[in-house]
Structure 1
Amino acid sequence: VASSPTVDELIASLGSNDCDVVVMDLSLDDGSSVTDNVEKLIAIGSAVLIFSIADKPVLMRAALRSGALAIVPKSQPMSHLAEAIKLAAEGAIINNPETSAMIDADSNFKEANLSAREREVLSLYASGLSLKQVAFQLEIKQSSAKEHIDRVRVKYAKLGREAGTKVDLYRRAIEDGIISGDLL
């Protein structure tokens, strides 16, 4: 059992030790994104549970989309968290009613299935860079950057999630945990 204020510090403290299950809050004080944190933990072979007050549906969706197994609200008895940890350690599917209800009730929980490159281009573009700057940073042609953004817009439009403007793309990127920030 270990505790750490950030995911990076936890990973560093583990060294060569394995960590079967990580229980993590949605928001850490280092400003890191829940998507990055979950992906880093999965990359080292850890199952991830989110233990949170569960008041941020955008972050909960991002955590689940990134591979977190379940959301366990802090309002639940500790026995619920203990059971979720046990199931995660066993590699079992966690059929958590809170997580299922959150997903079922949320019409925005629709996966756009963006490629890694589309996510990368969207992240930079939605963060404020111009297409020219995105292309320069990624060492691709500006026309390629534009094609990626056009495909992203089409994928979101097919899901009924408007993405016609840069502000719309900013909102979608936050909703999907691609970038961190506040919805406008």
Structure 2
Amino acid sequence: MTRVALIDDHESVRLGLEAACARAGTMHVVFSGSTVTEYLDWRAFSAAPPADVVVLDLTLGDGTTVTENVRRLVLDGSSVIIHSVADRPAAVREALAAGAAGVVSKSSRIDDVIAAVRTVAKGEPLNNVEWASAVEGDREFADAQLSARERDVLRLYAAGLPLKVVADRLGVAYSTAKENITRVRVKYVEVGRPAPTKVDLLRRAMEDGLLADSASDAEDIARGR
């Protein structure tokens, strides 16, 4: 069962999501409330483990910022989906930069929201229209100023190839490929978009439009075409 927390200051939204999660049969709503502080206080009091996925409203009524809320939840150990009316792309970009796994519009079908929870619970990045619109609206967000070699290494590594295979395909030493990935991580940290895990690197590569569209594209990159 995927443990889900719902944080939204509109009770009707939470009730609808609770019903949908119950209907899905593979999700259990462990918390439903209006602020991140309420959720973390509940966690501390109950000693419950962090939710696998937190569905978080973009703007809460307690005066907190989306960056603050996302970072607190990610630091606590949960993946975060922003559930938004999607009319504030700058705030959505802020949430993604803070570590949110993705965004799904409140105008989406409830089945799409549940599918998004399933995707994120599996540790996969959520790549949808809302996410793409937010990223495309701000090229500074997507620019970590990677070198051509760093982009090639990231593209293949994020596509799922082991680093040794990446090095072989690009004709460089393993230590060189490893150094490139280290520099990539540092550069993403410098622009406020940390990528400590391979899944995070995949997300960054997708955000920046670097990921090859297919295995054949990856082969072409490796061959320098």
Query: Partners in 2 of 1:97 and 1:32 — Cα distance?
Result: 26
Query: Partners in 1 of 2:143 and 2:67 — Cα distance?
Result: 14
- % identical equivalent positions: 38
User: Could you tell me which residue of structure 1 aligns to residue 74 of structure 2?
Assistant: 42
Instruction: Tell whether 2:57 aligns with 1:28.
Output: no
Give SS of 1:103's match.
Answer: helix
Gaps of 5+ in 2: 1-28, 146-189, 192-225
User: Could you tell me which residue of structure 2 aligns to residue 14 of structure 1?
Assistant: 43
Shift of 1:111: 5.9
TM-score w.r.t. length of structure 1: 0.57
Matches within 5 A, 1:79-98: 79-98=111-130
Deviations 1:34-79 (CA, angstroms, capped at 9, x unpaired): 0010000001110000001011112111100000011100111011
CA RMSD, Structure 1 to Structure 2 (Å): 2.1
Matches within 5 A, 1:147-162: none
Instruction: Tell whether 2:100 aligns with 1:68.
Output: yes
Matches within 5 A, 1:94-105: 94-105=126-137
Give SS of 1:24's match.
Answer: strand
Shift of 1:108: 4.7
Q: Runs of 4 or more off by more than 6 Å in structure 1?
A: none
Query: Partners in 1 of 2:134 and 2:93 — Cα distance?
Result: 9
Query: Partners in 2 of 1:96 and 1:9 — Cα distance?
Result: 29
Gaps of 5+ in 1: 114-154, 157-184
Give SS of 1:82's match.
Answer: helix
Between the two structures, name the one with larger relative contact order (CA 8 Å, sep ≥ 6): 1
User: Could you tell me which residue of structure 1 aligns to residue 174 of structure 2?
Assistant: none
Change in 2 beyond 3 A, CA 1:32/1:104: same
CA contact (8 A) 2:58 2:83 kept: yes
Structure with greater strand share of residues: 2
- Considering only CA atoms, is the larger Rg found in Structure 1 or Structure 2? 2
Aligned residue type for 1:10: Y
User: Could you tell me which residue of structure 1 aligns to residue 13 of structure 2?
Assistant: none
Instruction: Tell whether 2:81 aligns with 1:52.
Output: no
Give SS of 2:58's match.
Answer: coil
Shift of 1:14: 2.0
Give SS of 2:32's match.
Answer: coil
Query: Partners in 2 of 1:72 and 1:95 — Cα distance?
Result: 10
Shift of 1:109: 2.6
